[in-house]
Amino acid sequence: MQGYIIDIKKVRDDDLIVSILTKYEIYTTYRFYGARHSIINIGYKIDFELEKNIKSTIPRLKDVIQVGYKWIFDYEKLYCFTQYLKLFSYHFKNIENIDSFYFDSIENLVTIINKQNPKRAICEHYIKVLEFEGRLPNEFYCLLCDKKIENNISLIRSFMTTHSNCSYGKEFSISKIKDLFTNKSLILFDNNEVQYLYNIILQGI
């Protein structure tokens, strides 16, 4: 089977606990240390097998083959992608079964990153995640004062909307944010604004 590594934790003797996002499940697996093992890291897509052991509740990760991307040696793209996928390990904490949307949309994100700025691609992907999970605002009310937002709008963690003077955040035109949430496109945003939105995502999805 195939999946994306979203978390790695070292345990005794350099063994690893590896969390993998697949099409329908989040697997927590055990990988024994060995010199002949292929190198793995968060953000890598792998083809793998699982071996169950009656002495352990965690299956052993075996026969790992890395499935490369065209941009695998582009440090900026890989670093951004790794940061983003790591957030899913917290998002899916204590969850095993997931909808195929996540795997399929990440597959599409990998293709888009090949042609587009990775931070733009990730921000647009995140908007789709929020919409899928029913967390994308369709009416703009301030999370902090609970009043309707007419013009000066800011976004905070999870792209929740606030008045700029309530959250002291970067101010956007409300038409720009409406376009972003409707079209899932950052075409109207400059690079500094994209970086700002990307930094919000890094706070947690």
Cross-strand bridge partners of residue 71: none
Helix (H) or strand (E) holding 5: strand 2-10
- The number of angstroms, rounded, from the C-alpha of 161 to the middle of its chain's C-alpha atoms is 20
**pTM value?**
0.92
Q: Which pLDDT score, from 0 to 100, does residue 135 have?
A: 96
Please count the helices (runs of H) and the strands (runs of E) in the chain.
6, 7
Residue 97 sits at φ, ψ, to 5 deg, of: -95, 130
Q: Which pLDDT score, from 0 to 100, does residue 35 have?
A: 45
What's 58's DSSP letter? S
- Of 4, 184, 156, the C-alpha closest to 86 is 4
Q: Which pLDDT score, from 0 to 100, does residue 56 have?
A: 72
Residue 49 sits at φ, ψ, to 5 deg, of: -125, 155
Q: Which pLDDT score, from 0 to 100, does residue 14 have?
A: 76
Q: Are 66 and 45 in contact (CB under 8 A)?
A: yes
Q: Which pLDDT score, from 0 to 100, does residue 159 have?
A: 96
Q: Which pLDDT score, from 0 to 100, does residue 4 have?
A: 98
What's 150's DSSP letter? S
Taking only the tens of pLDDT, the chain with its 205 residues reads: 999 999 999 887 778 999 999 999 999 998 887 645 667 899 999 999 998 876 778 899 988 999 989 998 999 999 999 999 999 999 999 999 999 999 999 999 999 999 999 999 999 999 999 999 999 988 899 999 999 999 889 999 999 999 999 999 999 999 999 999 999 999 999 999 999 999 999 999 9
